[in-house]
Amino acid sequence: MTTSPQSFQAVDPASGEILASYPSPAPEVVWSSVENSHRSQVDWGRRTVAERASFFPALASLLHERKDRYGLLMTREMGKPLTQAIGEVEKCAWVCDYYAEHAEAFLAAVQADTDATISYWTYRPLGLVLGIMPWNFPFWQAMRFAVPAIVAGNAALLKHAPNVPGCADALDELFRDAGFPDGIFRNLFVDLETTGALIDHRHVRAVSLTGSVRAGRAVAARAGHALKPCVLELGGSDPALVLADADLDLAVSSCVQGRMRNAGQSCIATKRFVVVESVRADFEQKLLESVTAIRMGDPMDPTSDLGPMARLDLRDELHSQVARSVEAGARLVLGGAVPQRPGAWYPPTILADVAAGMPAYSEELFGPVASVLPVADEAEAIRVANDTDFGLGASIFTADVERGERIAADAIEAGNCFVNGIVKSDPRLPFGGIKDSGFGRELSPLGILEFTNTKTVWVR
């Protein structure tokens, strides 16, 4: 096993300025950290659920106290507008409070009526859970995996995205300052080769990945070979179905928020606007007016709606997808040109007349690009919405709530379906996808059970 000879470097995507470098640890330091986390987890897992849950209010309190500091760190490392970054920190406090309140009930033993004197099943921790996390929500994604895993009695090892090392380091500090035992949450600055070796390690009992389909396939294969469970939250190409009776003002405002928030860099961003032809022209006009009003600017400025993308390579790939879609027949309504300025900037962009065979139809566009896919009616809208390898989320806009619920519950192939609102993660609801969007669930009671041993106990 080797570690990368290069340091992990934070670069301001708004300017290209190098902010800080964090050195990779020596191999012996990595494995010593894993052993330390293992020893801590053995003791942590023996504590009662109530005792473990009692640590989380302090964690939530620190997040509230440090929201401005952590928000600024996120903004500088990956370009998220500061107001959105601060909101992300506050959401992390929410997930701490949620599991502190409900963990005992979620992990309570379940009695079973059998031929035994006593029989039930209980939920016990697995051990170390490795979290391989992305850069787009650098605090929320890590906390979303770690909080339920830790309160269930596991310890969390974090392998964060290399372009947000300051956020990774801050999360490690956060758990220490909140009084958690040493090693119960541990950030590791490791490369891909070492990450694979971590999956194989005898003390690592499960893996959680949020990332690309390619990364998901690699991690699932490695974890499967090691006979270890994993949860995968991968890409998405979420449709918003705008039906003929939809409130177009609500649909447009929701779609724009869902598409442009975090510069469109979200797995559950509304990426494909599937609009019934009878309202398409009005929808496109309202969409143009709304997107034109978006202010792209300094992410530190509270009046900015859109900051830079996280990296230049990501911006360039997005622009290539837009250009290839236009070449294939999409109509460029707005944007679509790379600004001549330092940094990873890309303007709010609208593509219309998007159809099968175009990147904007079949690929995930991870940036501020709205794609309008015209359809004849509800039946075609459902078909087009499902005509994707992804299955993370979907929205349906209609004045007929019962109709919307029927489509959401029965017709759309996705893990999260919202009616008259954008898809969002909520600690109270299961979150995850199907098809190439992954498997397993985070959050809610289901999320805390993913990394437990469901143990049957039978006594005569």
What's the pLDDT score for residue 5?
45
Q: What is the mean pLDDT of the chain?
A: 97
Residue among 233, 284, 442, 450 flagged as catalytic: 233
Can 413 be counted among the known catalytic residues? no
Q: How far apart are CA 265 and CA 78, in angstroms?
A: 10
- Average pLDDT, integer, range 302-313: 97
With contact defined as beta carbons under 8 Å apart, do 396 and 407 qualify? yes
Count CA within 13 A, CB hemisphere, residue 275: 29
SS3 letters across the chain: CCCCCCCEEEECCCCCCEEEEECCCCHHHHHHHHHHHHHHHHHHHHCCHHHHHCCHHHHHHHHHHCHHHHHHHHHHHHCCCHHHHHHHHHHHHHHHHHHHHHHHHHCCCEECCCCCCEEEEEEEECCEEEEECCCCCCCHHHHHHHHHHHHCCCEEEEECCCCCHHHHHHHHHHHHHCCCCCCCEEECCCCHHHHHHHHHCCCEEEEEEECCHHHHHHHHHHHHHCCCCEEEECCCCEEEEECCCCCHHHHHHHHHHHHHHHHHCCCCCEEEEEEEHHHHHHHHHHHHHHHHCCCECCCCCCCCCECCCCCHHHHHHHHHHHHHHHHCCCEEEECCCCCCCCCCCCCCEEEECCCCCCHHHHCCCCCCEEEEEEECCHHHHHHHHHCCCCCCEEEEECCCHHHHHHHHHHHCCCCEEEECCCCCCCCCCCECCCHHHEECCECHHHHHHCCEEEEEEEEC
φ/ψ of 29, rounded to 5, equals: -70, -40
pLDDT tens digits along 63-110: 999 999 999 999 999 999 999 999 999 999 999 999 999 999 999 999
Give the closest residue to 155 by CA, choosing from 318, 291, 41.
41
Which residues lie closer than 8 Å to 5 by C-beta, 6 or more apart? 24
Can 233 be counted among the known catalytic residues? yes
What's the pLDDT score for residue 4?
41
- pLDDT > 70? residue 185: yes
- pLDDT > 50? residue 113: yes
pLDDT tens digits along 341-399: 999 999 999 999 999 999 999 999 999 999 999 999 999 999 999 999 999 999 999 99
pLDDT tens digits along 197-230: 999 999 999 999 999 999 999 999 999 999 999 9
pLDDT tens digits along 393-452: 999 999 999 999 999 999 999 999 999 999 999 999 999 999 999 999 999 999 999 999
On the question of a common fold for 8-234+435-459 and 238-419, the answer reads no
pTM, rounded to two decimals = 0.96
What's the pLDDT score for residue 6?
56
Give the closest residue to 229 by CA, choosing from 246, 207, 251.
207
pLDDT band at 2 (very low <50, low <70, confident <90, very high): very low
pLDDT tens digits along 320-340: 999 999 999 999 999 999 999
What top-level class would CATH report for the domain 238-419?
alpha beta
Look up residue 167 and give its amino acid: C
- Across 289-317, b (16+ Cβ under 10 Å) vs e yields ebbeebebbbbeeeebbbbbbbbbebbeb
pLDDT band at 7 (very low <50, low <70, confident <90, very high): confident
Residue among 88, 267, 442, 450 flagged as catalytic: 267
pLDDT tens digits along 37-72: 999 999 999 999 999 999 999 999 999 999 999 999
- Rounded to a whole number of angstroms, the CA Rg of the chain reads 23
So what's the architecture of 8-234+435-459 in CATH? 3-Layer(aba) Sandwich (3.40)
pLDDT tens digits along 256-295: 999 999 999 999 999 999 999 999 999 999 999 999 999 9
How far is CA 352 from its chain centroid? Answer: 27
Q: Where are the domains of the chain?
A: 8-234+435-459, 238-419
